[in-house]
Homo-oligomer: A and B are copies of this chain.
Amino acid sequence: MAAESPIRIGVLGCAEIARKVSRAIHLAPNATVSAVASRSAEKAKAFAAANGYPPTAKIHGSYESLLNDPDVDALYVPLPTSLHVEWAVRAAEKGKHLLLEKPVAMNVAEFDKIIAACESNGIQIMDGTMWVHNPRTQKMKEYLSDPELFGQLKTVHSCFSFAGDEDFLKNDIRVKPGLDGLGALGDAGWYTIRATLLANNYELPKSVTALPGPILNEAGVILSCSAFLHWEDGRTATISCSFLANLTMDITAVGTKGTLHVHDFIIPFQETEASFSTSTKAWFNEGVTGWVNKPSEHKIMTELPQEACMVREFARLVGEIKNRGAKPDGFWPSISRKTQLVIDAVKESIGKNFEPIDLSGR
């Protein structure tokens, strides 16, 4: 049986993050970059050259032109969030599978339009959250699901902050209301919410409450905020995201029997390996002067960078559809939607003077 040909991915827009994902497409064994589009052909050409695109990669001077390219199976879409609904829907209607950057939309109503277009057209959609594809994440999930090692989850705390410099805080698309208008919540907060949902086996909280003191820029974009999540059975979580504090990316998950700590969950300290720490049934020694069952470190080698793992998984699903008539996998859009729902609720709670927002039935 001949090897299947790689999934042909077109890159819709030459954002900074597209450099990293272009490399990931090169690295993924089952995908290839077949085209790139920008609003100008020159920009697309320069981007292709700077990012080692194969000579066969087609250069498109408009997004529309890429959508009509018959030699493209799927698109990677790193456009500003405010443009997602338009271009993702149009792409789905053209039969292109979608690897869509996060946050997936400005709100869940927009994302539901994208999902509807994908469903009508048999399109696979996955968001661009890379860290969940790191093999470490699978190992963390196994620990968190282990009734003996971790027990029942009680609380999660997740934080992602980085200190944007003056230029970032003035000019980055993530601080512009018309572009990535969800600011730190949509960017950094997205990851902390995803981490929280992952630890809760993707069960939505009953309520989400923004915590007082979010910091907004003059245009009303969130630069820093935090929120509290609460599940009916008593599980709790806090998330915290900011463009205004030193780079920090933590998950702390505490269960009845175990504790997990990770301090680089989104981008591991090193590309080739990643670790996390766990303890189980930690307690004090006899004189209460030290611990027994201290935390231990688990190191996982990363053969393929996490973003290449993401592309590989996306291309695998697209291949199943293209080559074997499979249906799109509903898991990925379902967790994108839940993440977006929580983002919407944090924003709504801020707008309602920090009232709890009930997520039942959403």
A residues contacting B by CB (< 8 A) are 19-20, 23, 151, 154-155, 157, 159, 161-163, 207, 209, 211-213, 215, 224, 226, 228, 230, 234, 236, 238, 240, 242, 244-248, 250, 252, 254-259, 261, 263-264, 267-271, 277, 279-284, 287-291, 294-295, 305, 356
A271 vs B207: C-alpha distance in the bound complex, in angstroms?
A: 42
Contact B212 A230 (CB under 8 A): yes
A13, chain B: closest CB distance, angstroms: 17
Measured in the bound complex, the distance between the Cα atoms of B294 and A268 in whole Å is 10
Contact of A238 among B151, B157, B287 (CB under 8 A): B157
Distance of A244 Cα from B294 Cα, bound (Å):
18
Q: How far is the CA of A244 from the CA of B244 in the complex (A)?
A: 34
A interface, by DSSP: helix, strand, loop or mixed? strand
Give complex CA distance A219, B282 in Å: 28
Instruction: A280 to B246: give the CA distance in the assembly, Å.
Output: 7
Are the CB atoms of B20 and A289 closer together than 8 Å?
Answer: yes
Are B246 and A264 within 8 A (Cβ)? Answer: no
B267 engages A289 (CB within 8 Å): yes
| A268 pairs with B290, CB closer than 8 A | yes
Contact B226 A244 (CB under 8 A): no
Measured between C-beta atoms, what is the minimum distance from A23 to chain B in Å?
Answer: 7
Question: From A294, which residue of chain B is reached at the shortest CB distance?
Answer: B269
This chain's copy number in the assembly:
2
Partner among B211, B247, B295 whose Cβ is within 8 Å of the Cβ of A259: B247
Give which listed residue, B151, B159, B224, B269, contacts A246 with CB less than 8 A.
Answer: B151
Q: Cβ of A151: which chain B residues have Cβ within 8 Å of it? A: 246
**Chain B residues in 8 Å Cβ range of A259:** 245-248
Cβ–Cβ < 8 Å partners of A246 in chain B = 151, 254-259, 279-282
In angstroms, Cα B268 to Cα A226, docked, is 29
A-B pairs, 8 with minimum CB distance: A247-B282, A154-B245, A271-B289, A245-B254, A248-B259, A269-B291, A246-B259, A238-B238
Shortest C-beta distance, A172 to chain B (Å), equals: 14
- CB contacts (< 8 Å) of A281 on chain B: these are 163, 246
Residues of B contacting A267 with CB < 8 Å?
284, 288-291
B244/A154 in contact, CB under 8 A: yes
- CB-contact partner of A248 in B161, B163, B254, under 8 A: B254
Closest B residue to A288 using CB positions: B20
A-B contact pairs, 17 of them (CB 8 A): A20-B288, A154-B245, A155-B226, A157-B238, A163-B281, A224-B234, A226-B238, A228-B238, A242-B254, A245-B256, A246-B254, A246-B255, A246-B282, A247-B283, A268-B290, A269-B291, A271-B289
In the complex, the chain B residue whose C-beta lies closest to that of A238 is B238
